[in-house]
Amino acid sequence: MEHLTLLPIQNEIEMDESLESVISKLSAKPHYTKQFSKVFGDTLINEKKIGEALALFLSSMISNNSKYDQHNRGEVELTFNEERGEEIYLGLLCTNCHGGFNFDDQGNRFLNNGLDTEQEMTDFGRELVTNNRNDRGQFKVPSLRNIAVSAPYMHDGRFSTLEEVIDHYASGVKNSASLDGFLRGFEFEISDQDKSNLIEFMNTLTDESFLEDPAFSDPF
C-alpha cells in the first residue's frame, strides 16, 4: 500500500506531479515538518515517509457500521422493501461481482461490464497497462459500500443515478470481445417497484458514522 499511494501522485492522468516537487512543497510548510517530526522523529520529508503516512491513513478508513452491518449484528431490522431489495440483489446474482463483506469482487478482478461496443470504446482501461487486447475496456470492480452517496457511476461517471445503473444491466449491456462472460446475453425485466426496492437495499450500505467521522474531515 505504501507503494500504491505514491502512484496516483505521479500518474499523468491523475495528479501528474513529481515526488520531488511534492517533497519540496511539504518541506516548505512548517505545519507538515512539525507533523512529520511528531510521527517520525525528525523533520526530514522523503518518499518513504509520505508513502507510510498515506498508507496508514487509508488503512484507518474502515466502513463497517451501515444499517446492513447493524442488521447482520442483530441490532436493527431491515424494512420489508429493503429485504425485498436484498432478495432481488441476490436473485440477479449481483454477488458475482459485488459480494463478500465489502460488496466487491472477491477475486480482485478487472472486468468489462458492457458499457461500450468495440467501435464505441474511447478508454481502453487495463489494456493501456498490460498491452493485452483481451484487457480492453476492463476496469477494477469497486465496492458498493456507500454507493448511494458516491455518484456519478462507472469509471467515466456516465450514469448519474442508481436507476440508470440498473437499467444498464437490465437491457443496456453492449457486446465486445472482452465483455465479462457472466454478462454475455445478460438481461432482465424489473418493475419500477422492484427497482425502487433494490435501491432501498443499496441505501442500507451507507455508513453515516463513517462518512461523518471527524477523523476523516478536512484537517485544515
Is residue 164 left, alpha or beta, with left meaning phi > 0 and alpha meaning psi from -120 to 50?
A: alpha
> What is the CB-side half-sphere exposure of residue 185 using CA atoms within 13 A?
1
Average pLDDT over residues 7-16: 92
Q: Within 13 Å, how many C-alpha atoms sit on residue 61's CB side?
A: 11
Residue, of 13 and 101, whose pLDDT is higher:
101
User: Which residues of the chain does CATH 1.10.760.10 include?
Assistant: 67-209
139: phi then psi, degrees, rounded to nearest 5: -135, 160
Predicted local distance difference test score (pLDDT) of residue 220: 82
pLDDT digits (tens, 9 = 90+) for 114-136: 999 999 999 999 999 999 999 99
- 52: Cα within 13 Å, side-chain hemisphere: 8
Residue 69's pLDDT is: 98
Q: Across residues 177-196, what is the average pLDDT?
A: 95
* Secondary structure class of 104 (helix, strand, coil): strand
pLDDT at 154: 96
pLDDT band for position 218 (50/70/90)? Answer: confident
The reported pLDDT for the residue numbered 111 is 96
Greater model confidence, 218 or 158? 158
On the question of pLDDT at 99 being above 90, the answer is yes
What is the mean predicted confidence (pLDDT) over 183-198?
95
- Note the pLDDT tens digit of each residue in 19-64: 999 999 999 999 999 999 999 999 999 999 999 999 999 999 999 9
Residues 84, 193: Cα–Cα separation, whole Å = 10
Q: What is the mean pLDDT of the chain?
A: 95
Nearest residue to 187 (alpha-carbon basis) of 170, 199, 203: 170
**Could you give the angle at the alpha carbon of 61 between the alpha carbons of 79 and 4, nearest 5°?**
130
pLDDT at 219: 82
Q: What does the H/E/C string look like for 106-167?
A: CCCCEEECCCCCCCCCCCCECHHHHCCHHHCCEEECCCCCCHHHCCCECCCCCECCHHHHHH
- For residue 150, pLDDT over 90 is answered with yes
Record: fold of 67-209: Cytochrome Bc1 Complex; Chain D, domain 2 (1.10.760)
End-to-end C-alpha distance for the chain, whole angstroms: 25
Residue 13 pLDDT > 90: no
How large is the average pLDDT for residues 163-180?
96
Is the confidence at residue 202, as pLDDT, over 90? yes
Instruction: Look up residue 111 and give its amino acid.
Output: L
Rounded average pLDDT over 183-207: 96
Question: CB within 8 A of 44, min separation 6: which ones?
Answer: 36
Q: Using the predicted structure, report yes or no on whether residue 86 has a pLDDT greater than 90.
A: yes
Count Cβ atoms within 10 A of the Cβ of residue 181 and give its class: 0-12 exposed, 13-18 middle, 19 or more buried: exposed
pTM: 0.85
